[in-house]
Structure 1
């Protein structure tokens, strides 16, 4: 295929990828919104709600290493399409069951487990295919557009879900998700996942001679030879644990301690998604970040400061509207910084990891990113019950900043980006 026609095809992939992600994410989030409300209204139990969250996190955390091997061994396009079809069938099954027997909590749990696995298969296969779908010069744009579609869905789905919930039945939400999923399947089937991939067949044949366990060990062995990626993994593991202070504390402080009204609380959450959206648009239009690890380090330090800032209204007396405005601005900055941290690192990983190991490496990253989240939530839930919220937040924010300053110290940055020193000397000269 000629280079110009490849670039045209890549442009098609760029926007088809974004639209399919937008449609699928929107359908999934409207469904999640409706189901979450249904569980809370039907049972009035936080435990039932938490069980559904566990059904979402646990299956993909346990299955991630095996999903990575399957993604590296078989056609990524077929995995993406099969996953999306399985999603459609799972929701269709829940719809049929609901129409015949009525919606039940166990049926929701089973469906959530299936959707957890299908979303993990689709997500890792797509992440592993970016360099095959898009030319290298536009990988940052692809990652930013992907994040834009997720942000659009995050902003729009609660509004649509809130508007429809109570006026239409749960089967209508299920039908909406089925339609969205079918559109995603159609769009994904038109994409060439090997447009920029070479020697795929030889690699697949070599990997098929390995057992599943040998393939997982090979992926871990490859990762050990990438010291910068290993440092990034340990930083992400510790950060996600410490972010439990934010995940648990933000809602607890605003709703329980400061008595912020539900609609205003929702608006601060909307500001978070808006920050993500606008920063994603910025990254989709600017040239590629030159020193991704350095940029991400600064972004994480800013996140630590913002996290500590959540405690400020507990330490200082503020009027209700100043509190609300302060938290809206804080969450806007928080959403923006999440993109500043994630996008450059995603581009760096896409360009650094060899194609035959991408599925396994991305699955290990996913596993490590999620591994300590449930533990963090449990521990911080207990800490907020025992200690004043402001001190839990400030201590966690201080630990976050300290972890990043130690693990992403200047010598590590120079190892990842040797040209940083050259740039510094040039600027001094």
Structure 2
């Protein structure tokens, strides 16, 4: 294909991908919130509500490596489209059950499991395909648009889910979700998942037959052979672990310690998504970050400081409005830092991981991070019951900062960005970190 046509197609992909991801992510967010609310309204049971979350998380933890294997082994376009069609069928099946014999908890749980699996396969495949869908110069823009979609869904999904639940029947609620998934399928069907593929196809090379297990092990071995990628994965896991600590501690401090009203607590949490959205829009208008690992290091260090700073109102008396305003600013800053960490990491992985292994590495990262987050929340939930919150968060802040300073020490930064001079690496002062327009 002519280069001009490829770039034109990449531009189409950029917007189609964003719209498709927004619709499907928004649909999942609306469905999960609306169904969870429905379960609470008919059962009043926290256990039944918790089971929805387990049905959403557990399949992703178990099946992520298989999703990565499939993304590397089979047609990416086929996987994405089949996954979305299965989402339509799953919701249609729940709708049929609701209209015939009446909706049941078992039917809801089974639907949530199917949607979790289809979302996983579509998500991992899309994540491993971004470098194939757009040109190298616009990978950061694509990653930023991806974050924008998730931020909008996290802000608007619960609001729309709650609104629909109050205004329409459960059947109409399910029909709206089916339509959203179907529109996503139509959009994804127009995309060429091999537009910028760098796979070399040769008739002279006979592919070695591997079992699924061998294929997955090859992905782990590939990661071990690339020190910088291995560091990036470990950094991502550290963020996930301590983000669990922050999530539990933040809710515990505001609700139990400072008695913040639920409406105001929701506003402070919404500030996180607003910060992520604003920063995603900003990065989508900028050229690629020149030294991503350095930006990641700075972002995590600031997040560590913010985590410790979250305990300030426990130690210094503030008026109620001051407490709410403080946490709105804190969460807004946290959201900004999250994007300055997630986007450069994502771009680095897209560019440094060979296409043949990208799915398996993303699948492995999904499993490790998804399994680590619930473990972190359980562990810190237990600790917050027996140890003062300020001690836990300040200790976590110090450990997180120390871990990142070690993992992203100057020698690692230098290996990742050999074009940086030694003085810049040692002082962490490099201008400009983000290339100008």
**TM exceeds 0.5?**
yes
CA contact (8 A) 1:233 1:368 kept: no
Aligned residues: 427
Q: Distance in 1 between matches of 2:63 and 2:39?
A: 26
SS of structure 2 residue aligned to 1:286:
coil
Structure 1: give runs of 5+ residues left out of the alignment. none
1:370 aligns with 2:370: yes
Question: 1:65 corresponds to which residue?
Answer: 65
Q: Which has a greater percent of helix?
A: 1
Instruction: Go from structure 1 to structure 2 and tell me whether the alpha carbon gap of 1:202 and 1:99 turns closer, same or farther (over 3 Å shift).
Output: farther
Residue number in structure 1 paired with 2:434: none
Alpha-carbon distance in 2 for matches of 1:206, 1:386:
60
Q: Aligned partners of 1:243, 1:149: CA distance in 2, in Å?
A: 21
Q: For 1:234-259, what per-residue CA distance to the aligned partner results, in whole angstroms no more than 9, with x for missing partners? A: 22223322222212122222122222
The answer to whether the aligner puts 1:284 opposite 2:284 as a matched pair is yes
Distance in 2 separating the partners of 1:179 and 1:37: 21
Cα drift, residue 91 of structure 1: 0.9
Residue in 2 that maps onto 1:157: 157
Q: Residue 148 of structure 2 corresponds to which residue in structure 1?
A: 148
Distance 2:176 2:338 in 1: 30
Structure 2, unmatched stretches of 5+, are 432-437
User: Is the Cα contact below 8 Å between 1:237 and 1:371 reproduced in 2?
Assistant: no
**Structure 1 residue 208, shift from structure 2 partner:** 7.3
The answer on 1:172 being equivalent to 2:167 is no
The alpha carbon displacement at 1:206 in A equals 6.0
Q: Quick one: distance in 2 between partners of 1:135 and 1:8?
A: 10
Describe the shift of the 1:198–1:403 C-alpha distance in structure 2 as closer, same or farther (beyond 3 A). Answer: closer
Aligned to 1:299: 299
Alignment of 1:146-225 (within 5 A): 146-199=146-199, 201=201, 209-225=209-225
Q: CA deviation at 1:399?
A: 1.2
Give a deviation string over 1:342-370, Cα, whole Å, max 9, x none: 00111111010111111111111111212
State which drifts further: 245-254 or 276-285: 245-254
Distance of 1:232 and 1:357 partners within structure 2: 16
Q: Out of 253-262 and 306-315, give the one that drifted further.
A: 253-262
Provide the rounded CA distance (Å) in 1 between the counterparts of 2:141 and 2:106: 41
CA shift in 2, pair 1:116/1:218, >3 Å: same
Distance in 2 between residues matched to 1:200 and 1:398, nearest whole Å: 47
Q: Tell me, in whole angstroms, the C-alpha distance in 1 between the residues paired with 2:46 and 2:376.
A: 18
Question: Residue 27 of structure 1 corresponds to which residue in structure 2?
Answer: 27
Matched position secondary structure for 1:85: helix
Q: Deviations over 1:320-361 (max 9, x none)?
A: 111111111111111111100000111111010111111111
Q: Is the 8 A contact 2:22 2:149 kept in 1?
A: yes
Given that residues 207 and 215 in structure 1 are in contact (C-alpha distance below 8 angstroms), is that contact kept between their aligned partners in structure 2? no
Displacement of 1:110 in angstroms is 1.2
Which residues of 2 match residues 391-410 of structure 1 at below 5 A? 391-410=391-410
| SS of residue paired to 1:165 | helix
Structure 1 range deviating more: 109-118 or 191-200: 191-200
TM-score normalized with structure 2 length: 0.94
Matched, 1:41 2:46: no
Is 2:414–2:422's contact at 8 Å kept on the other side of the alignment?
A: no
Distance, in Å, in 2 between the alignment partners of 1:142 and 1:423 is 32
Within 5 A, what are the aligned runs for 1:5-16?
5-16=5-16
On the 8 A contact 1:141/1:283 being kept in 2, the answer is yes
For residues 366 and 202 of structure 2, the distance between their equivalents in structure 1, rounded to whole angstroms, comes to: 27
Deviation at 1:26, TM superposition (A): 1.2
TM-score, normalization by structure 1: 0.95
The CA distance in 1 between the partners of 2:206 and 2:75, in whole Å, is: 14
Given the superposition, is the C-alpha separation of residues 386 and 126 from structure 1 closer, same or farther in structure 2, using an over 3 Å criterion? same
1:123 alignment partner, SS class? helix
Q: Which residue of 1 aligns with 2:245?
A: 245
Q: Take 2:318 and 2:74, find their aligned partners in 1: how far apart are those partners? A: 58
Paired residues for 1:90-105 under 5 Å: 90-105=90-105
The CA RMSD measured in Å over matched residues stands at: 1.9
Q: Distance in 1 between matches of 2:244 and 2:430?
A: 40
Answer whether contact 2:267 2:328 (CA < 8 A) is retained. Answer: yes
CA shift digits 1:151-177 (9 cap, x unpaired): 122222222223233232222221111
Counterpart position of 1:53: 53
SS of the equivalent of 1:420 reads: coil
Deviates more, 1:413-422 or 1:83-92: 413-422
Distance 1:202 1:79 in 2: 24
Q: What whole-Å deviation, never above 9, does each CA across 1:288-332 have from its counterpart, x for those lacking one?
A: 001111101111111111111211111111111111111111111
**Counterparts of 1:207 and 1:377, CA distance in 2:** 44
Q: Distance in 2 between matches of 1:339 and 1:214?
A: 35
Alignment map for 1:329-348 (pairs within 5 Å): 329-348=329-348
Structure-2 change in CA distance of 1:416 and 1:154 (3 Å): same
Residue 94 of structure 1 deviates from its aligned partner by: 1.1
